[in-house]
Structure 1
Amino acid sequence: MQGRRLVILFSLFLFCFAFLLIHLAFIQMGRGSDYAFLALERETQPVLLEEYPRGEILDRRLQPLTGSFDANRVVVFPGLIRDRQAVITSLAGILGLPVEKIAPYFDGQPCYLPFSLTPGQVKAIREHQWPGVLVLPVHLRYGPAPLAAGVVGYLGRVQSREVLDALSVKSRKSYSLSDWVGQAGLEKYYEGELKATRPKSAARLFVDAAGRPIPGLGVAVDLQSMDPGRQHLVTTLDARIQRVVEEIMDRRIKKGAVVVMEPHTGDILALASRPCYDPRPGGLARYLTLGETGTFTDQTTALFTPGSVFKVVVAAAALAEGIVKPDSQFNCRGSLDQPVRCWYDPGHGVVSFSQAFAESCNPVFARVGLKLGAGKLIDYAGRFGLDNQTITGYPVPRDGRQNWQVVAAPHNLVNSSLGQGPVLATPVQITAMMNVIVNDGVYVQPRLVRELRNDVGQVTRSFPPGPGHRAIPASTAAQVKEMLKLVTTEGVGRKAYVPGYGSAGKTGSAQVDGRGKVNAWFTGYAPLQDPRYVVTVLVEEGTSGGETAAPVFREIMEKILTLPLE
């Protein structure tokens, strides 16, 4: 009996000991690095050598869209500096700055000075070898020309305790009121993934329990740490194309949007809107100080009246349903026509359906729309994705104003057939609509985000291309292609024709008030053979699609078609 008790007791102790060993092994292997980092934080005064410790937002070629880069900065540890005033005076002389601008950085916690350095200044500072003053590379998030700001978003301080608690619960990461977090766009939508859990580079001063520097240990510099918590977002954007688009917009579009899409895949290669803020520190304040008006909303995903670009859907539906043929004959009486007049007062006379499309003849499309009926019009709008605001990887909240059932209300059908009245669409949706024609009748959902990667480049989450479906027969898409070609060669969109490559598309001039202001559209593709890009241009308060948007489309296409293929 006594032997049995000893065996049981020994087994119990063995089990407890094994449990403790397993638990310790779990702590060591699973959380060991986390606890080691927390211990290091308690034992040191760190200077984080990152402007904003968080993951990068990258284009399809893994280039940072914010323009992040490394640059030398002066790092100071006030507790190690013996003759503080002498150092401040000498450093101010080297940097060419007033002493009072530098002195505050020597009174508090260790930090880096936010002043650019020339190679000569770097050499002069290092030659002095001041204890507590170093020159080290700092990772700066924003370059001189950040791209896609309206999509990438911007950063701001945590505003309240409620926001702090919500962030901590949602991402399960540690936050403080001093943290910079995403306030809009991808920075906000992927805050939990982008947020860093530890710095990738830092300089550390070892201190005792009272915060005094420990003699002999000096400053430890680590420039190549890995952060297991942060992730990097890889988008479908192409920085080269995005830069071309934004440079042209800055010259030619005060208010509006441009979308560039890759045919067949639905991947968005450029997404830009104006007006737009500067995401760099102080950029929003400068924007407001200049008295700029407008909204920080991403215009590419905002709803607008599309005007005659919607005639692509009307034409495709009428052709697919057998209501018309490309050579069907109509009579346009211009300003005398009913139920709507034509923009061309003398009238186009007897025209084929293809010619009416090329000239954007409203009376013809009003009649075709009435024959088609509200039910078919609503059905085909859905087939072309105009009821789907989803963009793969870009979770913009849906705008409930887009309600296609209103088209069926009394007296709405004629205006809806012209892309007016209750018809609303985003520039991204219009681009996806045109992509249906390029794709021989197949709709593909737009995609903006490709994947998330960890610090060592491993893909942690993929965003496969969105769902697709056949919207119209391939034969109908081929007929519409021929009509789109007429727009740029013989019709109202001739200013969108791209010499040497050819292009096709559709103009739109959506009335926004009773004083002649219109939202000018052009959406199309190039080259004619084997198209490489689908581009939509929206210019708010323009003259007309053919006069205002078409030339911008041509200039963008001329520039991006010369870029080397990947």
Structure 2
Amino acid sequence: MLLIRRRRMVASFGFIVAAFVGVLAHMYNIQLVHGDALAVQALHMRSEEVALEEYVRGEITDRHGVPLSGGHYTNRVVIFPSLMNNPDHIIKKLAALLRMDTADLAKKMRRGAFYIDRSLTSAELRQLQDDKPAGVYLLPVYRRYGSNPLAVHVTGYLGKISSKQEYTRLEKQSSKNYRLGDWVGQSGLEYFYEPQLKGSRAVRWARVPVDARGRVIEGPGLLVDSAGIDPERRNVVTTIDSRIQRIVEQVMDRQIDNGAVVVMQAGSGDILAMASRPDYHPDPREMAQSVQKAAGEIFIDHSTSLYQPGSVFKTVLAAAALEEGLVREDTMFYCAGAGAEPVRCWNEGGHGHISFADAFALSCNPVFVEIGRRLGADSIIEYAGKLGLDNQQITGYPVKKDTRQDLSLIGKPYSLANSSVGQGPVLVTPVQVTAMMNALACGGIYHTPRLVTGLSDGAGHLVEKITGSLPRRAIDQDTAARLNSLLRMVTISGVGRKAGVPEWGSAGKTGSAQVAGENGPVNAWFSGYVPAENPRYVITVLVCSGRSGGDTAAPVFRDIASRIMKIQ
């Protein structure tokens, strides 16, 4: 009997302990795990509020934390119907002042507090400040988009969830809550980092405390907070330098209707600027107008699209030929000009007897067709791969690989000659060309391009760093040094003289890829670096439907290089 009683006491004690542990675990879950969220939820229930930001969402910033979308504060009319002593009278006055439909304004007010998303004229502002209607305030609202957003193809744009399939996809890839009609990323970084960018609560808001029946609590009045915390959202920190990006886009707006520019930090793979034209304005209010005004496909990012590189590809052959010992700078060739077979020279009269160094500077086609023949397809493919022309990866920017890029096609019958001058099956992106030129600028070391540094919290602290693969040697350091001398000759005495940058000097290679017959427009390239000694920036320019690399792309390179070299 005593034994049974003891067992019952032990069982009862165990049950009490288990119940107590369960209560503690539940309290821990409420207080520490979900405490912040429940406190915010309780605050929402006890107040009428307006979020003073367009999108509950993290920013996409440059390397210094500057929002690339041009985010800024602007004053908006914020309306709290619960604070109005004579709503009908105020609605009529406000509708007349703001040139709005009275019925439409009344309908919005019945739903609760809100702000009117449009700027005020100076006359409207003065009248509103003079009248000061009850329940109507002029408060700063954070707008995601400015008038001149940067790198729009990189950042992407937002759109509303409009289908069950999209909603299901978002629910699967993220633990955050979504609803039909939410604004989510549709392209670029907005799309790739949607789960990280999405926030759970506004960090800028205005609210009025109310009781359980929704009546305004006397005393506190209007409360405004612009320093809230949203632990769920993250900012995407890119490698872009907004100062350089702005210079690039200003130059492109004047000189390039269709094309791309990429700027990379010499000695690393970090992309400092990446722009494409034509472009668009990512603000949903401006998007339709952008599409109507577009003269081309505005959503294509030419920086990551494939194009024939033309004579820029001769750099690969030069690297291979020098490294393999097939040529020296003084090795002689012969150019018959327009009569050369199978590929004629751009110089109809021909260059006659010409050294390898001069052939590179003057971009002589027949010489490089002969070099391609001596190298063979396998060697060209090998060195193109070493220099990254088969690698579309950009660290932190998971664009889909374009399967049309296939260097093995160089080895197909009748492809070698055209491939040797960057035509035929050879396809590359401006980002790849920039990474190739960067390898030459920094002694033969190849760096995988990087566009995203990491993710930061609301205070701007980097909480997750994104790093790519380690640098690797692509070509011998001596070969790279010899190529640097050849690239320097292009801008001093060759076909790229218009890319010469006074005071600092420059080096690079032109390219003119035919796209519409022998006498039609070309895709004009120039890729190079500045200064010529101890390079700081590697710049690639692509102008679609230009005249030639030397006449069309080289001057754009010079303009951009001259301006960014003045940045301290």
Deviations, residues 222-262 of structure 1 (Å, cap 9, x unaligned): 32210000001110000000000101101110000000000
Task: Please give the alpha-carbon distance, in whole angstroms, between the structure 2 residues aligned to 1:313 and 1:178.
Answer: 50
- Rounded to whole Å, the distance in 1 between the matches of 2:540 and 2:26 is 59
Q: Which residue matches 1:130?
A: 133
User: Of 499, 502, 507, which residue of structure 2 is paired with 1:504?
Assistant: 507
Checking the alignment, whether the CA contact within 8 Å between 2:530 and 2:536 is kept in structure 1 is yes
Name the residue aligned to 2:36: 33
Matched residues, number: 563
1:458 aligns with 2:461: yes
State the match for 2:179 in structure 1. 176
Tell me the residue number matched to 2:244: 241
Give the aligned CA root-mean-square deviation in angstroms: 2.1
Residue 353 of structure 2 corresponds to 350
Q: What's the TM-score, normalizing by structure 2?
A: 0.95
Between 179-188 and 7-16, report the one with greater CA deviation: 7-16
**Kindly tell me: are residues 295 and 69 of structure 1, through their superposed partners in 2, closer, same or farther at Cα, counting changes over 3 Å?**
closer
Cα 1:368/1:27, change in 2 over 3 Å: same
CA 1:177/1:219 → structure 2, altered by over 3 Å: closer, same or farther?
A: farther
* Corresponding residue for residue 205 of structure 2: 202
Q: Distance in 2 between matches of 1:192 and 1:8?
A: 48
Alignment of 1:296-335 (within 5 A): 296-335=299-338
Q: What is the aligned partner in structure 2 of residue 558 from structure 1?
A: 562
**Per-residue deviation, 1:123:** 7.2
Of the three residues 372, 390, 404, the one matched with 2:375 is 372
Matches within 5 A, 1:37-436: 37-91=40-94, 97=99, 105-117=108-120, 125=128, 128-207=131-210, 218-290=221-293, 292-436=295-439
Aligned residues of 1:203 and 1:221 also touching (Cα < 8 A): yes
Equivalent-residue separation in structure 2 for 1:59 and 1:127 (angstroms): 41
What amino acid is the match of 1:448?
L
Residue 282 of structure 1 aligns to a residue in which SS? Answer: helix
Task: Using the TM superposition, name which of 387-396 and 34-43 deviates more.
Answer: 34-43
Q: Is the 8 A contact 1:245 1:556 kept in 2?
A: yes
Which ranges in structure 1 are unaligned for 5 or more consecutive residues?
A: none
Match for residue 532 of structure 1?
536
Matching of residue 470 in structure 1 with residue 473 in structure 2: yes
Q: CA 1:99/1:26 → structure 2, altered by over 3 Å: closer, same or farther?
A: closer
CA apart distance, 1:208: 5.8
In structure 1, what is the equivalent of residue 25 of structure 2? Answer: 22
Shift of 1:90: 4.1
Q: 1:126 touches 1:134 (CA, 8 Å); kept in 2? A: no
Runs of 5+ unmatched residues, structure 2: none
Change (3 A) 1:49 1:82: same
More displaced, 356-365 or 207-216?
207-216
1:8 to 11, 36, 49: 11
The Cα shift of 1:491 comes to: 0.7
Classify the secondary structure of the residue corresponding to 1:557: helix
Counting aligned pairs with the same residue, the percent is: 49
Letter in 2 for 1:378: I
Give the Cα–Cα distance (whole angstroms) in 1 for the partners of residues 162 and 25 of structure 2.
Answer: 42
| Cα drift, residue 288 of structure 1 | 2.3
Q: Distance in 2 between matches of 1:455 and 1:290?
A: 37
Shift of 1:517: 1.5
**In 1, Cα distance between equivalents of 2:187 and 2:257:** 21
TM-score under structure 1 length normalisation: 0.95
Give, in whole Å, the separation in 1 of the partners of 2:101 and 2:165. Answer: 41
> In 2, distance between residues paired with 1:308 and 1:523?
11
Q: Name which of 519, 522, 536 aligns with 1:518.
A: 522
* Range with greater deviation from structure 2 (2-11 or 14-23): 2-11
Task: Determine the C-alpha separation between the residues in 2 that align with 1:526 and 1:222.
Answer: 47
